[in-house]
A and B are shown apart, each in its own frame.
Chain A
Amino acid sequence: MMRRRRFLGTAAAGAATALLPGCGSRSTEPQMPVAYELGKPLPWVNWAGNQSCFPKQRLGPASEAEVVDALRRATGTVRAVGASHSFSGLVPTGDTLIATDLLSGLATHDDAKLQAEVWAGTRLHDLGPLLAGIGQALPTLPDVDHFALGGAIATSVHGTSRQFGSLSNCVAGLTLATPGGELIECSATKNAELFHAARVSLGALGIVTRVRLQNQEPFELTEVSRVERTEDVLADLDSRCARHRHFEFLPLTHSDLCVSVATDPARPGDKDQGEDDPQALEQLRKVFGAVSWMPGADAVYDRILKATMADAGTSVRTGPSFRVFPHLRVVRFREMEYAVPADAGPACVREILETVRKRKLPVCFPLEYRRVAADDIWLSMFQGRPSATISVHQYGDVDHRPYFDEIEPIFWKYEGRPHWGKLHSLDARRLAGLYPRHWRDFQEVRRTLDPAGRMLNPHLKQVLGA
């Protein structure tokens, strides 16, 4: 996803807009997707503002016993919600919504094994300092730290690294409150089938209450971002992914530039360099808006970016891992992401960039290209194959569908698996073909735990075919 400081260099582009006619940009002021009245029950709305519902019951259990009780007494379709960051329709229900906000903090920890059992509602933002306090750290994290841990593993949230998998891959065990109101612990050696299913479950098996994380000792990282040519990065991609602990890049549409981000263990003397620019994405948008009407707009846009970003130089952030992994968000957007086989990643991203250019798609929100190691989790996007994840984004106040509809078939061509928490149009029939090894295994576990389908809202029925 987009990182605001990554586009430090584009801040200068903002100055260019003052020189150009017609520099207006659409507002990114959030739009409430549903009407509501104070004094009456409030809706639930996700971060992006594209999902909403009016649950009859909104529960916030503060203990495992209360979760069990809530599940036993809930009526209608039951869904759990963490930080409401998923773009896909995992949460909406008109019946019972169970929020995990109050299931937060450290439950137990094991110094010898470097494991920590954490309540599933814990926000990743709190998780880093919490683990540091017991001499532990997660080996990898996503670049957004507002997620709830339970939601993050339900959707296989990930960072970028050839050697590390998703957050779900850091799970050594978990406790699940089933729709029937039973608490079940599972791990690779205890209730193993449930463990394989529940590490990425879309919240279809019940509510995960506790997660035992396999951590490592705390460590420090240094992240270096620079503006480069996309083709230069692609030509050297394997080497960079092997050389750096974490590597990703963000190609700019209608331009041959990108921002590369390499992150490695910090060395003595590493220092921060450069500053955050929270409005860089908005500046990029203004520049694009100012020139996109012109004949030969691509060339003009690319030239402005090169002129203004050429001197952007390198920016550096260094510190404890949990401070370096995440980045701030101030611009609301919608996102579609697919995981394709790692070897197919470069061809796929080239085809997307070429499609945007050839079809003159009015898009200036950068793409994001990351790597994730293979895992053995039944419904993980990375099951059985090292992957490249490619994301496309659109500003939150613009209809994303024309853009995403153009790009999604490209992902299909490369056997892409959609991110469970992001936008896509696949149904169960198509998805089953992408998970040939364990699709049926997962369905069997789900039917055993929830024969009446109480956890299935319309979106889950569509993607799981239940």
Chain B
Amino acid sequence: MRILEVLRGRVRRLRAGGEGICAKHPHHRPAHLLAVLLAIPLTGQADLTDRQARLLIVNCLQCHVRSNFGAPIIGDAADWSKRNAQGEERLLRSVIEGRPGMPPFGYCSACDEADLRALTRRIAGLDGGR
């Protein structure tokens, strides 16, 4: 997937002290991006279109990579096992309707049902995220 290639490229640049790091203020490194990179299994397969991957980055990752948010973390099976046991339809309805702390549609204004289903599968690790 192109998005994974982009992310891998960013990892390399970040590790090299390149993109996204201000020379004057190196402590302002975008830590959230690193968290994303750590959370997304780069060897896994994500059946997301480029568009859906961008929707994931803009919306879902605001919360699902931040351990202090109370939201289940992408790629963390322990966070998802009970939720996933409810089944995909129930999970999808939770995304659409929102939960305490989570907005309806997970903040994704552009998402239709197919987008939400694909993003939910990917974040929750359902069917290996495919």
Contacts and interface: CB of A to CB of B under 8 A. Distances in A.
Interface residues of B, number: 42
A101 B62 CA distance: 13
Nearest to B21: A133
Contact of A278 (B21, B28, B101, B112): B101
Contacts of B23: 135
A428 interface: no
Given A32-B104, A38-B92, A146-B62, A101 B70 contact: no
In this complex, the interface size class of chain A, counting residues with CB under 8 Å from chain B, is 35 or more
Given A129-B32, A133-B21, A331-B100, A38 B51 contact: no
A121 B58 CA distance: 9
B96 A320 contact: no
Contacts of A42: 96, 105, 112-113, 116
Nearest to B116: A42
A28 interface: yes
Contacts of A133: 19-22, 28, 30
B54 A104 contact: yes
Given A104-B58, A132-B25, A329 B109 contact: no
A310 interface: no
Contacts of A83: 107, 109
A320 B111 CA distance: 32
Given A38-B92, A146-B107, A320 B28 contact: yes
Given A30-B104, A332-B100, A101 B19 contact: no
Interface of A: 28-30, 32, 36, 38-39, 41-42, 44-47, 49, 58-60, 62, 81-84, 97, 99-102, 104, 121, 123, 125-126, 129-130, 132-135, 146, 217-218, 276, 278, 320, 328-332
Interface of B: 19-25, 27-28, 30-33, 51, 54-55, 58-59, 62, 68-70, 89, 92-93, 96-101, 103-105, 107-113, 116
Nearest first, the 9 A-B pairs at minimum CB distance are: A60-B110, A132-B28, A99-B110, A99-B109, A129-B30, A330-B101, A101-B110, A45-B104, A133-B20
